[in-house]
Chains A and B, each alone.
Chain A
Amino acid sequence: MSALETTSPAQDDTRRRGPLAETLFSLMRSRTFLVGFAIVLFWVACALFGEHFAPYDPLADDIINALAPPSSEHWFGTDQIGRDVFSRVIVGSRDILTVAPLATVLATIAGTALGLLTGYFRGLVDDVVSRILEAFMAIPVVIVALLAIVALGTSKTTVIVVIGLSFAPIIARTVRSAVMAERELDYVAAAQLRHESAFHTMFVEILPNVIPPILVETTVRLGYAIFAVATLSFMGFGIQPPSPDWGLSISSNYGMIGGGFWWTVLFDALAIASLVIGVNLAADGVHGAFND
């Protein structure tokens, strides 16, 4: 004990930043993170304030000017009922940026709870729950979503719950392996010797120490959640009309792609691509910052 106390503070004296500040510092130096974060921030700003600087009402139709190609009046052209594509792309970030983060939060909460339980108790609980989770992970999200939507009907809540529950096992697996390593440490044994409840040991003692892997996994999952929400909206199982959502716009316009009306789908596709890549770059940066 005394040996530990003499060596570690001496080394820390030179750089007295907390571990959190240290991580933030290395995040700010990561070019990958900054680029990704800037892209995400741009779309968040569009979601929040897009209405105010969009040149047209994203929902207002104008049949006479339907399917007009990009021009100085309509930068991205108009869709089949004359709505301004540029305005729709800007405001279209709103729904996906609400549904995907909520689904990720749900997945993180459920996954963390499951991961703590299976990692802490091990034995029979771990065996049974982990097997079921693994088996569940093999089922594609699209299939789960399809079934849920057939059974429950389409709504944002259904999408959030489906994606949240589908991703929870993946987060649970990460948390579980982190907990398995933590529970061998002395502070857990100390808590157990103090006769702390299992709940206290898991959520008060262990949880704060496994936050970094959870944060990393959450940012990675957010990218996949955006992927999933966009895909479900495209399939008609996600966000519903008249929302100017990107996936939904593509699904209602791609039928005319053969007629050469490329502007009705290209900009929405590029918007999704940029958001997904932005989140993944940011996630990559977070991963790097915590693992240096």
Chain B
Amino acid sequence: MSLSLVTLFLLSTMVFLGGQVLPGNVGRAILGPFADQRAVDALNHSLGVDRPLLTQYWTWISNFVQGDMGTSYIFRSPVAPFVIDALGNSMKLAAVAFVLVVPIGILGGVIAALNLNRPLDRIISLGGLSVTVLPEFVTGIILILIFGVWLRWLPISAAWPKDAGFFTQLYYLILPSLPLFLVLFGYIARMARSGMIEALDSDYTRTAVLKGLPWRTVIWRHVLRNALMPTITVIATQTGYLIGGLVVIETLFRYQGIGSLIFTAARGKDFPMLESGILTIGIVYAVATLIADFLYSVLNPRIRLGSEQ
């Protein structure tokens, strides 16, 4: 947990430096090169960017903690509603990808391990590895071509019609979630596979088999529980990756999520929007890490009981 706090601090400093200090004159950037110098100064003053850096950083952080994310330079209205909306949309997309990939990835890894070195294992391992290394926009483009342009099964944009119900939204989210699915599948399947191999090879599995337990029980009660422990950690660390992937996927599919919010803000140099978006992502990452630690300790009796002593 302390580590994710360091990450958060680093991230906020980088955001602050990258967004605020290095690009120079914010007022000039907004008003354009032909604006009157007095107008630029006035705007800089009203935005507060002419104050000392430490003051700005402190104001920004303390306001953010209190839920005030500032005012967008471009929209001239509070940032918070934009960020919250976008975060909600991204969560939907990430949720669809996760709901698909976690069980299927684990299943893939388990099946590969149970068929170790047979053709099925080769197919899952090699296939998983190949799709994991491809950039999301490349798999995204190929999937759009296959399912959106040639077969016409799925919409090529994630922007669903207004007042769309749950299932319509889901329908629009299938294609965008697939590239994320493919990248994550390789990682999760690989971890589940190596965890399974290790657990299958262990003394307790041999004991369970030798004392006459049915194979099904051995797998469910003894092997899986131990095998999936490292996989949970991997899934949590993948949230960091997932966020990077969201920026790309949301741009490709024109989806109004936090990734495209950051992307648009960066292009328009909308500093408050950019910094709030990135910091929100950092917090999501920290929370995900915390949940993973918690889950890990719930599932692992050695840690759970160790901390009680």
**Stretch of A83-91, A144-152, A196-204 at the chain-chain interface:** A144-152
Residue tally, chain B, CB below 8 Å to A: 50
- CB 8 Å contact bits of B180-221 with A (1 = contact, 0 = none): 000000000000000000000000000000000000000000
A138–B263 CA distance with the chains assembled, in angstroms? 19
**Stretch of B18-26, B69-77, B82-90, B170-178 at the chain-chain interface:** B18-26
Asked if A266 and B251 sit within 8 Å, CB to CB, the answer is no
In the complex, what residues of A have CB within 8 A of residue B17's CB?
Answer: 151
Residue tally, chain A, CB below 8 Å to B: 42
**Stretch of A19-27, A104-112, A268-276 at the chain-chain interface:** A268-276
Closest chain A CB from B291 CB (angstroms): 15
A134 CB contact (under 8 Å) in B3, B267, B278? B3
Is B223 part of the contact surface with A, judged by Cβ < 8 Å?
no
In the complex, what residues of A have CB within 8 A of residue B9's CB?
Answer: 135
A140–B237 CA distance with the chains assembled, in angstroms? 11
Near B by CB (< 8 A), chain A positions 123-143 give: 131-132, 134-136, 138-143
Which label, helix, strand, loop or mixed, suits the secondary structure of the A interface?
Answer: helix
In the complex, what residues of A have CB within 8 A of residue B240's CB?
Answer: 138-140
Is B100 part of the contact surface with A, judged by Cβ < 8 Å?
no
A186–B6 CA distance with the chains assembled, in angstroms? 37
Closest chain B CB from A31 CB (angstroms): 13
Which label, helix, strand, loop or mixed, suits the secondary structure of the B interface?
Answer: helix
A19–B138 CA distance with the chains assembled, in angstroms? 39
Asked if A135 and B263 sit within 8 Å, CB to CB, the answer is no
Closest chain A CB from B218 CB (angstroms): 31
Given A223-B133, A234-B137: A142 in contact with B14 (beta carbons within 8 A): no
B248 CB contact (under 8 Å) in A138, A150, A235, A280? A235
B142 CB contact (under 8 Å) in A132, A260, A269? A269
Asked if A141 and B145 sit within 8 Å, CB to CB, the answer is no
In the complex, what residues of A have CB within 8 A of residue B129's CB?
Answer: 280
Given contacts A138-B237, A270-B142, 15 further A-B contacts (CB under 8 A): A131-B3, A135-B6, A135-B9, A139-B11, A139-B14, A140-B240, A140-B243, A143-B11, A143-B278, A151-B18, A231-B135, A235-B251, A269-B141, A272-B138, A273-B142
Residues of A within 8 A of B (CB): 131-132, 134-136, 138-144, 146-152, 223, 227, 230-231, 234-236, 247, 250, 254, 257-258, 260, 262, 265-266, 269-270, 272-273, 276-277, 280
